[in-house]
Every structure is written in C-alpha cells, then in structure tokens.
Amino acid sequence: MSPENDAAFDASGRLLAQERSGDNAPALSVSELSAALKRAVEDRFGHVRLRGEISGFKRAASGHVYLALKDENAVIDGVMWKGTAGRLAFQPQDGIEVIASGKLTTYPGRSKYQIVIERMELAGEGALMQLLERLKKQLAGEGLFDRERKQPLPYLPRVIGIVTSPTGAVIRDILHRLADRCPAHVLLWPVLVQGEGAAAQVAAAVRGFDAMQVGGAIPRPDLVIVARGGGSIEDLWAFNEEAVVRAVAECTIPIISAVGHETDTTLCDYAADVRAPTPTAAAEMAVPVRTELMAGLTEMGLRAARAARRATELRRERLTMTARMLPTPETLLAPQRQRADDLGERLGRGLRQRVTLAWRHLSEAGGALRPSLLAQRISRDQSRLQSIRLRPELVTQAIARHRERLESTWRLALSLDPRRPLAKGFALVTAGDKVIMSAGDARAAGAMRLTFQDGSLEVSATNGVETAPAKRLSSPPKRKERPVRSGLSGVAQQDLFAADEKKDS
C-alpha cells in the first residue's frame, strides 16, 4: 500500500479513536455537553418574560403544571412547579394569552429547552375577559346558573351568615343596616376578598356554613350573604373562580351575592339565589323593616278586632230576626191543650162503655155456670186417680238389683285386699320399698323383710340358710266355669269370685 493511501485511511477510515498532538477539541460525554448547554442557557437567560398563548395545559398528579407557550411562528415548552401553581390568581386554560416570567433551562432527558415559570399573568384585560367568558359558558352548560336551582329567601331569618373581610367597610354597612331594619343574630366568617388564596377561603367559608348542623353548638344560618366592596375586574376575580362558583351553587342555604357595586357582575352573582347591587342592598333584602312589621301587626290586629265585632253584630242581628219569626209558647201548646181536653171527655165515655160491656160478659158467663158440669169434672178426675195404683214388686225388684251390685262390689274389694293372702298362710317379701318377686331378686337384695298376718320378720339370704334350687311351679288346676249371671244392666259378665266362695263355704 502506498503512503498516500495510508494517509487517506488514517484521515477518514480508522477504526480506533486516538488522541493526536495539537488537538484542542477533546471528546465530551453527552452528559457533559448537556450540562454545559444548561449552564450556558441559564447564565444567558436567567430571567425572561414571555408573551404567548397557552397550549396543551396539563396538571400532573404531583401538582406540577406542564404547558406550552406559542405564537404565530414558534412554540416553547414550560413547566410550573406545584408551589408556584398553587399561588396563581386564576385557572390557566388553553387559548388564553398570558405573560410568563421565569428562567430558561434545558431538559437533558429529551435534549430540549424549556422555561421554568415563576409567575404568570393575563396579557391585558382582554385576555381576562376571554377567560371569564369561557368559564361562564362552561359553568352555564353544567346548569349551575339555571333558575330552577334558585331557592327562595326566608322572610325573617333568625341567623344570618356573612362571608366577607372583617376589616372593611362592607361588614359595618351590613351590620348597621340590619340594626336599623330588623336586628338578627349575625355569624361572620372572615376571609380575604382579593389576592392570593382569596377564592379558596371564600369557597371554604360557604361550605363551612352549609356543613353546620341544625341544633348544634353554633346555630346554622338561615341565610348567607357573600359580600365585597367595588373594584376592578382583577380585584373581583376571586369571585369568578370556579371553586367559589361551585360552592355557592351547591350550598343548601339560600345565598345573596353582594359583590362590587351595581355595575359590577361576577360569576358568583349568577350562581347565587339572589344578586344584590350592593352589600347594603343585600342587608335590606335579607330582613324586613321592623317598624313596618310592627305597624303591619298592629293593622292586622285592628282588622281582626273589627272583623270579630262585625261578625258578632251580624250574628246578633240574625239572632234577633230569627227570634221574631219563632212562635210563642202559647201558640205552640194550644193544639196539645185542645187535644188533652178532647181526650179527657172521650175517656169518661169510654170508661162507662167498658163497664157496661164487662157486666154483659159477666152475666153471660154466670149463666153458663151449672153444678152438673162441676160434678162431671170431679167424677172424671176421681176415675183417673183410682186407675193409678202403687205396686210393691216394682220397689222390691229395684232394691234387689242394687243389693246384688253392692255384694259384687264388696267381693271385688275383698279380692283386691293385700292382707287376705296373708290370712291363708302366704307372706309378703320386701327389700326396702321394693317387693321381691323372684329368687334372683332375693339373692341380690341380701336383707329382706317377711310380713305375715300377725307380724314381720327380718331375714338375710347369707345367714346360713341354704337356698333350694328353683323349681317351676305347676299350673293350678282349672276351675269349673260358673254359669253367667246377668247384672243390673242386663249385660252378661264372668264371676271372678267363684273359687273364693267355695273356700269360704
């Protein structure tokens, strides 16, 4: 290979990198180059202000915000850390023109540069109005401003909750107006009404009043007033925040919005149940005038008294007119008196006729009474009496039947007497309360009592008496059947005492 070819190979096709003398461009790692670029960008652009339109706004789960700022020809990525994003006075949205202040830096992981935003403001009042209209359209689409959601205000609230600054003139104007019209119990929830954190405090106050329990240690308000004095749209912006509007719309207590002067309008006014042009007007809407109430009560009392008197007089007149139309007692009793006189005259005639009729009936009955009829009746009764005679055999037969029943019952009682077998030479063997029925029971019992007709004897199965082997007793001879007799009732029955009668005889 020629020397020329060797030089060409060394210049462009060598396989291994080698340091050469006089080389002033040493090889850098990617991290070193990225760090150098980062330092150069941050030193050169340590603080910049960019004007652009927000695009691709995104809030990560960590709370950091990522977005892009663009204009007609270029775009730059931006990041806002969680602490800075929480201090924003408005909610960023895509399409809003803003002015962002911060510093440029690079992100080595993607080889791109970006701005770390430390402060963000709307680029003029036009951008603020644009943001306001977008938010208004969004919330109206959700139905937060619908008239059907509005609640009527209580006529005479006992407790009024006020959300405003405790140091401004607004709270003094409201309290003064309430005292002039109709004093009520006022609960003040102090909040910031503008600046950083104002919207969060106002929303928390409204939700706090709504969360109070009826009958708790602190009385729950019957009405809530959200109030603030006048100012520019930027000063009133806290009452345009989405958090405040949602808290007011979701509150179950009727709310009066009194933010700004009569010409000022915020989204809180649309979400509230009633909008008041000024805080003083809100106090006038909240309670009626006490003197007017007293005058109205007095007037209603007079009207009630006049109505009661008029009703009494009207009923008295009707009673008088009705009493004139009623008949007198003499007129009412005249027909009854005449009828009583008529009945009295008819009673005398009727008694005389009744006595005459009775005499006539008595005469007829007396003529029909004859001694022969009585004699016939007596003769019939005597014949019937003689036909009835008492026969002695009826009584003797009944006595015989009863005697026979008594004798059979007595024989049955004698056969069941446990002492009768003892008189015939038998003995009753017992061990305690148990009757011994077999030789095996006797051997098992040991001590026994033998009861005879004239006394008892204690014996033992182990006192030297030899026990004989058990023998099966032969069956007793069959006794002759006696003729069946008929009892008192005529039913045939077997005589159970034939054997006993033979022995007794």
pLDDT in tens, the chain (505 residues): 454 444 444 455 566 666 666 666 677 777 777 777 777 777 777 788 888 888 888 888 888 888 888 877 888 888 888 888 877 777 787 777 888 888 888 877 777 888 888 888 777 666 667 778 888 888 888 888 898 989 999 988 999 999 999 988 899 999 999 988 888 899 999 999 888 788 999 999 999 999 999 888 899 999 999 999 888 777 888 898 889 999 999 999 999 999 988 878 889 999 999 999 999 999 999 998 888 888 888 899 999 999 999 999 999 999 988 888 888 888 888 888 888 888 888 888 888 888 999 988 888 777 667 777 778 888 888 888 777 666 677 778 889 999 999 999 998 888 887 777 888 888 888 888 888 888 888 888 888 888 888 888 888 876 544 444 443 434 444 444 444 444 433 433 444 444 444 444 4
CA angle, corner 88, sides to 84 and 92, nearest 5? 110
Q: How far apart are the first and last CA of the chain?
A: 172
Superfamily assignment of 157-288 in CATH?
Response regulator (3.40.50.2300)
Would you give the distance in Å from CA 176 to the centre of its chain?
Answer: 45
DSSP code, position 114: E
The count of residues in the chain is 505
Domain boundaries, the chain: 31-123, 157-288
Which residues on neighbouring strands pair with residue 53, listed in sequence order? Answer: 70, 97
Tokens of 32: 């070193």
CATH architecture of 31-123: Beta Barrel (2.40)
CA atoms of 52 and 213, how far apart (whole Å): 49
Neighbouring C-beta atoms of residue 451, cutoff 10 Å: 16
Nearest residue to 54 via CA among 82, 84, 75, 85: 75
- Residues 117/123, Cβ–Cβ less than 8 Å: no
What are the distances in angstroms from CA 329 to CA 197, 336, 343, 454? Answer: 93, 11, 21, 108
Nearest residue to 218 via CA among 154, 143, 161, 288: 161
CA atoms of 233 and 267, how far apart (whole Å): 11
- Residues 421/429, Cβ–Cβ less than 8 Å: no
Helix (H, G, I), strand (E, B) or coil at 471: coil
